Amino acid sequence: MAIHTVQPGETVFSIASLYKISVEDLLLYNGLTAEDKLAVGQNLLILLPEETYTLPADTNLSALAAEVGQSERALLRNNPDLVSDGELYAGRTLVLSFATPKEGELETVGYAYPFVSPEVLESALPYLSEFTVFTYGFNEEGGLIPPETDDRQAVALAQERGTTPILLLSTLGADGRFNNRLSGALFRNPQAQERLIEELLATLREKGYGGLDIDFEYVAPEDREAYADFVRRVTERLNEEGYSVTVALAPKTYAGQPGLLYEAHDYQALGKAANGVLLMTYEWGYTYGPPMAVAPLNRVREVVDYALSEIPREKILLGIPNYGYDWTLPYQMGTAARSLSPGEATKLAAEKNAEILFDEEAQAPYFYYTDGEGREHVVWFEDPRSLNAKLDLIAEKGLGGYAVWTVMRPAPALFAQTNARFEIAD
């Protein structure tokens, strides 16, 4: 595996020739089409097949998996074009493995809203151990509130593709804000907690979910112990029924870190209370904030180092963003940046003939461009090089895996890199 940085004058044809791979594979693993321009400075993922197999006759995925001794999901991971073009005809050549040593096993999680495009979700599922649906809520009496969009279709698709669906419970209100009055009322009402747990169990059973993810943000500082007690109670009950429980943690770098987002998130207590934790290591650069990397590696590393001092490494999932932001310059406080996918960012750079730069400290790409009205912009995003740095951190620290926010948009390079470097836990 390699990361290639595009130089002036290079094309997908010249780059494919340089590494002796097909143009089709280069495009596939980077989520590109033959019509896409390349930007100078764009980082491309290069995967070198080690073992391939040419079909001697027409077949189907199940029969092929048995024939080559791989699971259907492994075949789909090694050949992502099979998701959209599953015709297995005589003469078609498939990849069975890559020339990259595996570095161990990772748990991979993808978050999405129930209205995620079935096509986008289906392309992600072979690479996901778990698929988490955002979000269920609850009222002060402990009544469970389902998402506005029916989640049955997304859950069923995950089940069909061998990915465990996870129900996410949050304090997010109808106004799009996290409500700590709601969490506080729940913590002080044992009867409401009991009702909520029973309704969660009923929904998990009815819809076929495999576990729960708790995401209570901006919890009041005085509810710090009560929050950990609640997570412990939920975990004990759900574990008895065979369900796992994960809790999302704000990105802290030390125990006494001030701020409403951080104070009630007791890493040690919550790490003990739940079966696993997600570090929400993103949103340093955010919609209404000043321009910067969304998940600068130097800051992410600080959070991971603190988490490891409080929580067993195998319990920790690293949060990875699947998006970037486009800010208008000069930045004015209160103005909103535009969210865009990594693929949209690189296409924009190519369209504007912008050179993509790379911040070594943040390990993140960015570029400047001028819009049609003469306004300057800066875009920070994720690309194969920045994602590879995050995978390096996971491997270095021996973390349990990662969770992607979100898989509402394609993430071909992240998933292809993960599959080449690690065994994905099914």
> Would residue 225 show up in a list of annotated catalytic residues for this protein?
no
Contact 127, 107 (CB under 8 A): no
Catalytic residue among 107, 130, 217, 310: 217
Q: Which residue shows structure tokens 């094309």?
A: 11
Q: Are strands 244-249 and 276-279 parallel, antiparallel or unpaired?
A: parallel
Three-state SS at 121: helix
Total number of residues shown for the chain: 426
Rounded to whole angstroms, the Cα distance separating 72 from 122 reads 14
Closest by CA to 294, choosing from 396, 401, 190, 405, is 405
CB burial of residue 176 (10 Å; 0-12, 13-18, 19+)? exposed
Residues with Cβ < 8 Å from 176, sequence gap 6 or more?
none
Rounded to whole angstroms, the Cα distance separating 388 from 382 reads 10
Angle at 245 between CA 269 and CA 103, to 5 degrees: 90
Closest by CA to 348, choosing from 331, 329, 371, 332, is 371
The CA distances from residue 239 to 9, 80, 108, in Å, are 57, 35, 21
Rounded to whole angstroms, the Cα distance separating 138 from 194 reads 12
Q: Which amino acid is at 24?
A: E
Closest by CA to 151, choosing from 140, 171, 172, 137, is 137
Tell me the HSE value of 186 on the side-chain side, using a 13 A CA sphere: 30
Contact 179, 171 (CB under 8 A): yes
Contact 307, 276 (CB under 8 A): no
Cα dihedral sign for 264, 267, 268, 273? positive
Closest by CA to 253, choosing from 291, 208, 300, 321, is 300
What is the token pair recorded at 103? 């570095």
Catalytic residues, by residue number, are 217
